[in-house]
């Protein structure tokens, strides 16, 4: 091929500007994205960090910001707001101690496996210690506040929505995808239908489920009254209120898991499945040895996407229960929002930062220790 890029001089003269643009197109193409993120993420984060370290007060003609160091965080973690963020700790029974010991043993085992692997680096070691520390802290908080006499705070509520919610959605989405991946009639109908809840605004879902769960006027009211429940309302008890939030969240997000997993299931090697069927493998064996390895990288990635989004939950609890009864359904974002509404701007920013910290550690750990190995395993 002789079509080398030789410009004639006159073209180069008229095209000076275009050529300059072409030569610098890399930075120019990335610059808008970088500027947008600098303006709407980096810059606000720095301001928020400043806010989290100060006390905000309205003053005549404006407001004052007073630098108070880590006081906001201390108040949340050990001080007067501890009940709100962490919750009240209950008395640990044998069951709780057992769970704590199991978690600690598991984390120690994973850490020791890493340190004996011979591929230890400073960043890797520090990262793993941080992950393990945060996990242990979160598990301790969750166990201690759900024990007898304890009251979970907003951290535990958020974790509940994240862990239980995402796990349920994944299980349901995978089940539906496997069902829909079978050779049946009407697949496209189910596929379109199952996708719909994803598009409903969470605020709308909250109101819809409030309507559905109305014990006097909802569609299930006659059923509920037939069992003999008259005066009870799910909104007045902590666990039933949390369950409602989880139900609404699951209704919305199962379709997301379903749609991506279905595409992955349909992409699995068909010839292998047929060969296995001929050899007399049963459904479970096919799933374990062919389907699961084929979809594992996709599965890990969409769970990560959901984890990232699940930490931000606010609309559903805010509209469904207003965070109540008490603090029972309040997520960390809602906590931060409520603090903002009561003009505790420092406290609001501090809660936001703690959420940022927890979700970053959890999501990055999940990426490093689950998503990456799943992908490596495939290739």
Partner 1 sequence: MSASKRTLGQRLFEPSAIDRQSPAAFVITYALLFLWALVVLVPLYWVLITSFKGAGEVDNGPFYIPFVDFQPSLAAWDFMLLQNYTLGPYLNSVIVAVCSTILALLIGALAAYALVRIRFNVRLAAVATFILLLVAVIVAVAGLGVTWPVASIVAIALFVIALFTFVSRTQAAVGNSDIEFWIISNRIMPPIVAVLPIYVMFQQLRLLDTQVALIATYTAVNLPIVVWLTRDFFAAIPKDLEESAEIDGASKLRVFATIALPLVRSGLVATFLLVLILAWNEYLLALFLSNANAQTMPVLVSAQNTTRGPQWWNMSVLIVVMIAPVVVIASVLQKHIARGLLVGAVKG
Shortest Å, Cβ 82 to partner 1: 20
Q: Is 134 in the site for partner 1 (CB under 8 A)?
A: no
CA atoms of 167 and 359, how far apart (whole Å): 16
CA atoms of 332 and 76, how far apart (whole Å): 12
Region of 148 please: left (phi>0), alpha (psi -120 to 50) or beta: beta
**Which contacts qualify for 273-277: CB closer than 8 Å, 24 or more apart?**
none
Q: Whose Cβ is closer to partner 1: residue 144's or residue 334's?
A: 334
Q: Whose Cβ is closer to partner 1: residue 30's or residue 98's?
A: 30
Return the half-sphere exposure (C-beta side, CA atoms, 13 A cut-off) of residue 369.
15
| Residue 63 dihedral angles phi and psi, to the nearest 5° | -150, 165
Q: Name the token pair of 179.
A: 């069902």
Torsion of Cα atoms, 253 then 254 then 257 then 260, to 10°:
-100
Site string for partner 1, 106-125 (x = CB under 8 A): --------------------
What single-letter DSSP state applies at residue 161?
I
Stretch binding partner 1 (CB under 8 A), from 92-100, 229-237, 284-292, 356-364: 356-364
Stretch binding partner 1 (CB under 8 A), from 47-55, 75-83, 115-123, 126-134: 47-55
Which residues, 211 to 250, sit near partner 1 by CB under 8 A? 211-212, 216-219, 221-222
Q: Is 314 in the site for partner 1 (CB under 8 A)?
A: yes
Which residues, 50 to 89, sit near partner 1 by CB under 8 A? 50-51, 65, 67
Stretch binding partner 1 (CB under 8 A), from 73-81, 98-106, 114-122, 261-269: 261-269
Q: Is 20 in the site for partner 1 (CB under 8 A)?
A: no
**Is residue 272 packed enough to be buried (19+ CB in 10 Å), middle (13-18) or exposed (0-12)?**
middle
Q: Is 130 in the site for partner 1 (CB under 8 A)?
A: no
Contact pick of 57, 120, 203, 229 for partner 1 (by CB under 8 A): 203
Q: Are 293 and 211 in contact (CB under 8 A)?
A: no
Q: Whose Cβ is closer to partner 1: residue 114's or residue 337's?
A: 337
Provide the CA 46 distance to its chain's centre, in angstroms. 23
Q: Is 4 in the site for partner 1 (CB under 8 A)?
A: yes
Q: Is 285 in the site for partner 1 (CB under 8 A)?
A: no
Q: Is 287 in the site for partner 1 (CB under 8 A)?
A: no
């Amino acid at each position: 091929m002789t079509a080398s890029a030789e410009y004639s001089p006159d073209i180069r003269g008229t095209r000076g500007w275009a050529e300059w643009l072409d030569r610098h197109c890399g930075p120019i193409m990335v610059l808008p994205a970088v500027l947008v993120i600098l303006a709407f993420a980096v810059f606000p984060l720095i301001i928020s960090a400043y806010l989290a370290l100060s006390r905000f007060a309205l003053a005549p003609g404006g407001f004052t910001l007073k630098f108070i160091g880590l006081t906001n965080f201390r108040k949340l973690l050990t001080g007067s707001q501890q009940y709100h963020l962490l919750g009240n700790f209950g008395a640990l029974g044998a069951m709780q101690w057992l769970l704590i010991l199991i978690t600690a043993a598991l984390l120690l085992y994973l850490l020791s496996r890493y340190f004996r692997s011979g591929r230890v680096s400073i960043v890797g070691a520090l990262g793993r210690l941080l992950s393990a520390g945060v996990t242990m802290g979160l598990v301790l908080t969750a166990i201690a506040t759900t024990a007898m006499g304890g009251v979970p705070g907003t951290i535990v509520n958020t974790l509940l929505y994240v862990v239980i919610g995402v796990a349920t959605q994944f299980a349901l989405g995978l089940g539906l995808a496997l069902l829909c991946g079978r050779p049946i009639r009407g697949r496209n109908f189910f596929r379109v239908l199952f996708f719909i809840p994803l598009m409903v605004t969470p605020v709308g879902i909250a109101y819809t489920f409030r309507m559905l769960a109305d014990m006097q006027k909802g569609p299930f009211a006659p059923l509920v009254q037939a069992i003999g429940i008259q005066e009870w309302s799910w909104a007045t008890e902590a666990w039933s209120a949390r369950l409602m939030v989880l139900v609404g969240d699951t209704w919305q997000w199962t379709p997301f898991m379903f749609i991506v997993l279905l595409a992955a299931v349909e992409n699995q090697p068909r010839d292998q499945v047929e060969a296995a069927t001929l050899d007399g493998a049963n459904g479970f064996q096919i799933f374990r040895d062919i389907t699961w390895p084929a979809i594992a990288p996709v599965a890990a990635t969409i769970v990560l996407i959901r984890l990232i989004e699940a930490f931000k939950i606010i609309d559903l609890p805010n509209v469904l229960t207003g965070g109540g009864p008490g603090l029972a359904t309040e997520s960390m974002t809602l906590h931060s929002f409520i603090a903002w509404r009561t003009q505790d701007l420092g406290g609001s920013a501090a809660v936001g930062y703690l959420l940022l910290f927890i979700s970053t550690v959890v999501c990055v750990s999940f990426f490093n220790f689950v998503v990456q190995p799943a992908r490596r395993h495939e290739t």
